[in-house]
Structure 1
Amino acid sequence: MKRLIMCAGTAAVLLAGSAPATATEASDRPMASASFNDTVLAVVHHAGRVYAGGEFSYAFQSGRRLERHHLAATTTDGELTGFAPEVDGPVHALATDGRHLYAAGRFRAVDGVERRRLARFSLDTGELDPDFTVRVDALPRALEVHGDTLYLGGDFHTVDGQPRERLAAVSTDDGSLLPDFAPRFDQAVRTIDATNHRVYVGGGFTAVNGTAARNLAAVDPRDGSLVAGFAPRARGVVHDLDVSGPRVYAATGGPGGRVHAFESDGVTAWERAADGDVAAVTVRDGVVYAGGHFTKVCEGGEVDDRGDCLGVTEERQKFMAVTTENALRAWNPHADSVMGALTIASGDDVLVAGGDFLTFAAGTVRQRGLALFPS
C-alpha cells in the first residue's frame, strides 16, 4: 500500500486550526520501533503484523543489528519478528490475501530458490511457497489482492509467457494466469486498487487498450475493458491510490505534487497541491494521510513552473493530513531527507510509513526507514 484545481464545492479550503476537529488522528510522533539501514519502499499490514520491503540489508532493534535482506516484519508495537527470508534484491511492492504475503521487486532468488521478481510466503510459517511460480518478464511495481485475484502492474510485457502489457491478474488459489483479463497500457503501471466492479490503475501512461487515458483509469475486472464512465483529470504521474467510500484518492507527481479526490465518475471533488511529489496516500477515520518529497502545502490548487506554491503555504515536512473534505490538519511529523515518505498503510491502531527518512520532530526523534504512528 502512496492524490489539485479547486472545484466550486471546495472553494472554501480550510487551513489548519480554522475549523474544529471532525476525526481522530494518528500521533505525529512515531513510536520507538525497529528501523532499517536503507530505504523502505513498500509496507502492508495484516493481523497485528507490519511487513516492510525495500533496499535494506539490516534491521536495528534495541541497539542490535540483525540481518534482514529486503524483507522483514514487525508487530504493531514495533518489535521485529523472526520473519527473515533471504531475498537477493530490492522489494518494491507487497500485498496479502490473509493467508499469504506477496512480494514483487528486482530479485532473482529467495532462500536460494529461483524466484524472479515475484514470490509468495505463508503468513503462518513465513516459508516461501514452492508452488507459486508466476513468471514476469520485467519489474512488477504494484500488487493488489481482491477476493481470489492477485493483480500485478509494472513494466512487464509477458506473464507466464503470455502477452500482458503492464497489467495482469492471476488466481490466488494456484497462481494461474486469468485468460480473459488482458488490458493494454502504453506505459508503466505504478499502483492498483480494486473493487468488485472496477480495477483502478495509476501510473504515467497515456492510453489504455488504444484509447486515450492519462495517468489514472479504471478497467473492468472481468475482461480489462476501459470503464468509460470514469474520466478523471490527474495532472501528474499517479504514484498511489486509495479507494474509500465513493471516492478515489490519488497521490501524484509534479511539477508540484497533489492529493486528488475523485468522484466515481472521475469528476474532481477537490485537490490540494504541494511543492514536491506526493508519493503515497491512505484514508483512515475520515482523514487523508499523504507522504512524499514536499516541504510545503498550498492553500490553493496551483503551483508555478518550478513546483512552488502560488499564494499562502503551510509547512509540512514530507507528510500531511487533510479531512475527506480537504480541511488541512495540523498533523506534521516533520521528517527529514530529500525523498521523504514513499509508502503509507493503515491498520489496527497504527499508521505505517516507509521511506528514506532518518529523523522526525525536526531532527529530535531518530527513526530510519520505517515509522509507526499510534492512533
Structure 2
Amino acid sequence: MRRRLLAAATIAAAAVACAHPAAADLAQRTVVSANPVDFTPHVLDGTVWSMTIVGDTVVVGGAFTKVTDSTRRTTFARKNIFAFGLNDGAVRGFAPQVDGAIYALTAGEDGTVYAGGAFKTVNGAAQRGLTRLTMGGQRVSAFNAKINWGDVRSLNARGSRLYAAGTFSAINGVNRAGLARLSAATGAVDTGFDAKLTAPGLSRTRVEHFDISPDGRKLVAVGALLRASGYDRTQIAMFDVGGPSAQLTSWYTDAYKPQCMKGFDTYLRQVKFSPDGSYFVVAATGRASSPDRLCDSAARFEVAGSGRHNPTWVQRTGGDSLYAVAVTGSAVYLGGHQRYFDNPYGSDAKGPGPGAVSRPGIGAVSPTTGRSLTWNPTRSRGVGVRVFVVHSRGLLVGSDTDQLGREYHGRVGMFPLG
C-alpha cells in the first residue's frame, strides 16, 4: 500500500507529466512496483475499456454507472466516462453525458480529449461513435465526425490528424472500412487516406486496435481483416502513414492464418510498438491451447525488413485470453484472464504444463526473450484487463474486477515506478 504522503512528495516531479503523443508507449528504465498506489478512485460496476492522460488528469472510459473516491466514502454518478487527478486521485467534475459505452480515448490539443465508442448522442446532441470534449465536459461542436453504424474501438491523435478504427464502414458519409484518418480539428475525413481493408467471407471488416510508431511513420492494425489494398494480410497489416496516403508496406506474417476456436473472425486484440519503434507486441485470445499456434498468446515482431516475418518470441498462456499489452523497454506488460505464463503445453483439461508459472490476470515478460519476469502483483481475473497506460510515474490499469496487487481497487489501479 502506497500512502498519500508518498503521492504528495512526488507531485512536484509529476508536474512535467502532460498529454504525450498517442503513439507507442513511454520508455521506463525499470519494472514498476507490484504495490499499487492507494489514491486511485474505484469504479463500482461494469468494465473500464480505455484511459488516457490529459495534462494532470486521467480520463477513463468504459461501460459503468458509479464511481467512488479512494476512501469509498463519496459516490459519484458517472455514466461511461469520468476523470480523476493523476497525482491525487481526486474525482473531477468532468461528467459529459453519453448514451453508450466508451471504448477508446486519446488526448487532444488544448486540453481536450477524443472519445470513441458505441454511443449515439453526446450531451444530448446527435454524434454517433466519435466526439471531442473539453475538460469541462463540453462537446467541441467544431468537431462533427459521425460514424454510420457500429462503434469506434481505437483512437490515436497525432498533431493535426486523428486516426480512428472500429466496426464502422463510413464516417461522415465517406466509405472507410474499419480504419480512417480525420482532421483533428473538424473531424473531416482525409480523402487521400484509405487502407482499403476487406474481409472476404467474414461478416464484416473491423479493426480491433492499432498503434503508431514513435516517429509517426508506421501504423500496425489488427482485427477481422484478410486483405489490404488488394494484398493478402490475415488479421494484421502494416502501413506507412508518414505521407498523404495509407501505403501498405511489404511487411507481412502468416503466423495468424491458423484458426483457433471456431467462431473467431479475429483473435487479435491489441498491438503496441516499443518505445524505440523497432518492434511491436500483439496480444491475442482464441480459446485454444497449442504450442504451435498463436492462440491465447503474446508475440513480438520486428519492424525492420521486407516480406514475410515470423515472431521473435511467443508467450503462451495455455488457453487463456490476453487482451491488453504495454511495452516499456524494461518489460512487456500483459493482461487478460490468464492463469499462467510460460505455458505452451498447458490446457483447461490437463492443467498447467511443464515450466508454467502462476500469473493470474496480469504479468510481465522480458522484451528480449518473452519469458516471464518475477513481477507478479496478481489480479482477480474476471474477463480481463482491457487497457494499460504507461506514464512518467508508473502504469495505469483498467479492467472489470476489483482486486489488484492483493488490495481492493475497483476496476482502476496504478502501479508506481519502483
- The verdict on a shared fold, with TM-score over 0.5 as the criterion, is yes
Q: Which amino acid aligns with 1:197?
A: R
State the shift of 1:228 in Å: 1.1
**2:249 aligned to which of 227, 248, 260:** 227
* Count of equivalent residues: 351
Write the distance in 1 (CA, Å) between the matches of 2:373 and 2:232.
Answer: 36
Cα offsets for 1:146-192 (capped at 9, x unmatched): 33211111111111101111111101132211001112222210111
Partner of 1:314: 357
1:154 partnered with 2:166: yes
Partner of 2:338: 294
Cα offsets for 1:175-217 (capped at 9, x unmatched): 2110011122222101111233221101132222332211211
State the shift of 1:224 in Å: 2.3
Do the aligned partners of 1:283 and 1:289 also contact (CA within 8 Å) in 2? yes
* Runs of 5+ consecutive residues of structure 2 not aligned to the other structure: 1-21, 23-27, 200-204, 259-265, 290-295
Write the distance in 1 (CA, Å) between the matches of 2:108 and 2:310.
Answer: 31
Q: Which amino acid aligns with 2:409?
A: Q
Counterparts in 2 of 1:144 and 1:229: CA distance versus 1, 3 Å: same
State the shift of 1:285 in Å: 4.6
Superposition RMSD on alpha carbons, in Å? 2.2
Partner of 1:74: 84
**2:302 aligned to which of 255, 263, 271:** 263
> Which deviates more, 267-276 or 288-297?
267-276
Return the structure number with greater strand share.
1
Do the aligned partners of 1:86 and 1:110 also contact (CA within 8 Å) in 2? yes
Counterparts in 2 of 1:353 and 1:309: CA distance versus 1, 3 Å: same
Do the aligned partners of 1:23 and 1:287 also contact (CA within 8 Å) in 2? no
Write the distance in 1 (CA, Å) between the matches of 2:105 and 2:345.
Answer: 33
State the shift of 1:303 in Å: 5.5
Once the two structures are superposed, the pairs formed by residues 10-49 of structure 1 within 5 Å of their partners are 24-32=30-38, 33-37=40-44, 38-49=46-57
State the shift of 1:307 in Å: 9.9
Cα offsets for 1:254-296 (capped at 9, x unmatched): 3252111110144422111113111011122521111111111
Counterparts in 2 of 1:302 and 1:261: CA distance versus 1, 3 Å: farther
Counterparts in 2 of 1:281 and 1:343: CA distance versus 1, 3 Å: same
Do the aligned partners of 1:146 and 1:194 also contact (CA within 8 Å) in 2? no
Q: Which amino acid aligns with 1:241?
A: V
**1:348 aligned to which of 370, 373, 392:** 392
SS across alignment from 2:133: strand
State the shift of 1:231 in Å: 3.3
Partner of 1:93: 104
Write the distance in 2 (CA, Å) between the matches of 1:30 and 1:41.
Answer: 19
SS across alignment from 1:341: coil
Q: Which amino acid aligns with 1:34?
A: P
Counterparts in 2 of 1:232 and 1:281: CA distance versus 1, 3 Å: farther
Counterparts in 2 of 1:313 and 1:133: CA distance versus 1, 3 Å: same
1:358 partnered with 2:368: no
SS across alignment from 1:88: coil
Write the distance in 2 (CA, Å) between the matches of 1:357 and 1:305.
Answer: 22
**1:249 aligned to which of 281, 296, 299:** 281
Write the distance in 2 (CA, Å) between the matches of 1:351 and 1:294.
Answer: 19
Partner of 2:366: 323
> Which deviates more, 171-180 or 207-216?
207-216
Do the aligned partners of 1:35 and 1:59 also contact (CA within 8 Å) in 2? yes
Counterparts in 2 of 1:119 and 1:298: CA distance versus 1, 3 Å: same
State the shift of 1:41 in Å: 0.8
Do the aligned partners of 1:232 and 1:268 also contact (CA within 8 Å) in 2? no
Partner of 1:334: 378
Write the distance in 1 (CA, Å) between the matches of 2:362 and 2:97.
Answer: 32
Cα offsets for 1:323-369 (capped at 9, x unmatched): 211242121221114212111111120211111012134xx411111
Do the aligned partners of 1:48 and 1:348 also contact (CA within 8 Å) in 2? no
Partner of 1:6: none
1:54 partnered with 2:65: no
Write the distance in 2 (CA, Å) between the matches of 1:343 and 1:231.
Answer: 25
Q: Which amino acid aligns with 2:138?
A: E
Determine which structure has greater relative contact order: mean sequence separation of CA pairs < 8 Å that are 6+ residues apart, divided by chain length. Answer: 1
Cα offsets for 1:204-249 (capped at 9, x unmatched): 3222233221121112323223211343624662211111120011
Counterparts in 2 of 1:303 and 1:146: CA distance versus 1, 3 Å: farther
Do the aligned partners of 1:136 and 1:158 also contact (CA within 8 Å) in 2? yes
Once the two structures are superposed, the pairs formed by residues 179-198 of structure 1 within 5 Å of their partners are 179-185=191-197, 186=199, 187-195=205-213, 196-198=216-218
Counterparts in 2 of 1:104 and 1:86: CA distance versus 1, 3 Å: same
Counterparts in 2 of 1:180 and 1:307: CA distance versus 1, 3 Å: farther
Counterparts in 2 of 1:95 and 1:308: CA distance versus 1, 3 Å: farther
Partner of 2:267: 237
1:134 partnered with 2:164: no
Partner of 1:367: 409
Write the distance in 2 (CA, Å) between the matches of 1:88 and 1:277.
Answer: 29
State the shift of 1:97 in Å: 2.8
Do the aligned partners of 1:298 and 1:309 also contact (CA within 8 Å) in 2? no
Do the aligned partners of 1:78 and 1:372 also contact (CA within 8 Å) in 2? no
